[in-house]
Amino acid sequence: MNILKDKVIYISLDDWRVVYFKGQNFAEGHRIYDDYLIRLGMLMKEADIDISEIIRIEIDVNDVSDESLLWDWADDINELDDEIKELIIKNINK
């Protein structure tokens, strides 16, 4: 799914954050530190990706059929469970 690789996807869970850049897991943790965000901005500029291409998504446990889907985040966004990818695509198309 190229649509997932053309954006910066910033996913917020209750106490976890995940950032995908060009379809790859760029950073994740309880907090995304400033040095990662600065590096992300530099990479976006190099790749000619506008800040408007950042898609911010909040996912709640109630948004998925199984809470365990939110426990592990794949290195490649296309390897995520289809249910998670559908939530992301739904937010991109808003």
pLDDT in tens, 55-90: 999 999 999 999 999 999 999 999 999 999 999 998
Compute the residue count for the chain.
94
pTM of the prediction?
A: 0.90
Q: DSSP letters of 52-92?
A: GGEEEEE--GGGSS-GGGGT---SBGGGS-HHHHHHHHHHH
Provide mean pLDDT across the span 34-57.
93
State the chain's mean pLDDT as an integer. 91
Structure tokens belonging to residue 4: 């997932």
pLDDT of residue 11: 96
| pLDDT beyond 70 at 13 | yes
Q: Where are the domains of the chain?
A: 2-92
Nearest alpha carbon to residue 65 among 90, 88, 82: 82
* pLDDT classification of 7: cutoffs 50, 70, 90: confident
Q: Where are the beta strands (DSSP E) in the chain?
A: 8-12, 17-21, 24-29, 54-58
The reported pLDDT for the residue numbered 6 is 81
